[in-house]
Amino acid sequence: MTDDQGTTESEENRVVSHSPLLWSGPTCASERISTWTFVPSPVQQTKTQSTVFLLGLLIQPSTYIHTNGRFKYSIQIEPQKLFGLIRVKNVAFEKAVIVRCSSDKWSTFVDYPAHYLPPVEETNELRDYETFAFQISLPDKGSRFEFAIQYIWTAENNQTDSAWDNNNGRNYVLHNEQTETSVNQKLLGKFKF
């Protein structure tokens, strides 16, 4: 895993980049094809001129996101799992990071805690941020999966404060191409041409 300075924790998951928008990790690995892909947001399309996750890559490039100086994180999709590293600004000793998810357009949701990862080596630059990791199983059924990230901390005056990253009110949305394709095939099968 990598921090925002490009420091590598593991050779297997290597991302070496001084720019948060560049991918220089592996482009393929056997048996890791995922049908889940991110829906590109208009902001991301404008900045990168392409979708964030590319269909056809076996290990998909991590998305690197920075929001209001509080969040920095990377996300990786595997066949039925979503993995992520979230780096949060170290604003207080007591803190929690929650990934809130829904597969039914927010009729219901589940909160998954992200777990603290101690630094491999500590430098002055790394003390400003702390890393949390999460792993979420993606639903077997359904074609849409949404999530947002909440950072909660206790300030010096014992007041609890929080910040949300919900992709500027749009949430982060994954679509399951396989489910959508099979639904379309079933619909087409009902019509005789």
Closest CA to 70 of 140, 161, 147, 157: 161
Q: Is residue 15 part of a domain?
A: no
Residues 162, 25: Cα–Cα separation, whole Å: 33
Residues in CB range of 37: below 8 A, 6 or more apart: 51, 53, 55, 60, 77, 174, 175, 177
What's residue 79's pLDDT? 64
Q: Report pLDDT for 114.
A: 92
Is residue 158 domain-resident?
yes
How many domains would you assign to the chain?
A: 1
Look at residue 31 and tell me if it is in a domain.
no
Could you list the pLDDT tens digit for every one of the 193 residues in the chain? 334 444 434 333 333 333 333 333 333 333 344 555 666 654 433 333 322 222 222 233 344 444 445 555 556 656 677 888 788 888 888 999 999 999 999 999 999 999 998 877 666 666 778 888 888 888 877 778 898 888 999 988 999 988 888 877 888 888 887 654 454 445 555 555 4
In a domain, 171, yes or no: yes
Residue 7 maps to a domain: no
Q: What is the pLDDT of residue 142?
A: 75
Does residue 165 lie in a domain region? yes
* 23 lies in some domain: no
- Number of other CB atoms surrounding residue 172 within 10 Å: 23
The predicted model scores a pTM of 0.57
CATH number of the domain to which 137 belongs: 2.60.40.2440
Q: What letter represents residue 121's amino acid? A: E
- pLDDT score at 186: 52
For residue 13, which amino acid is it?
N
The predicted structure's pLDDT at residue 50: 27
The residue range of the domain holding 175 is 36-189
Q: CA torsion angle for 27, 76, 45, 55 (degrees, to 10)?
A: 50
Residue 42, sorted as left (phi over 0), alpha (psi -120 to 50) or beta, turns out to be alpha
Q: Looking at the domain assignment, is residue 29 inside a domain?
A: no
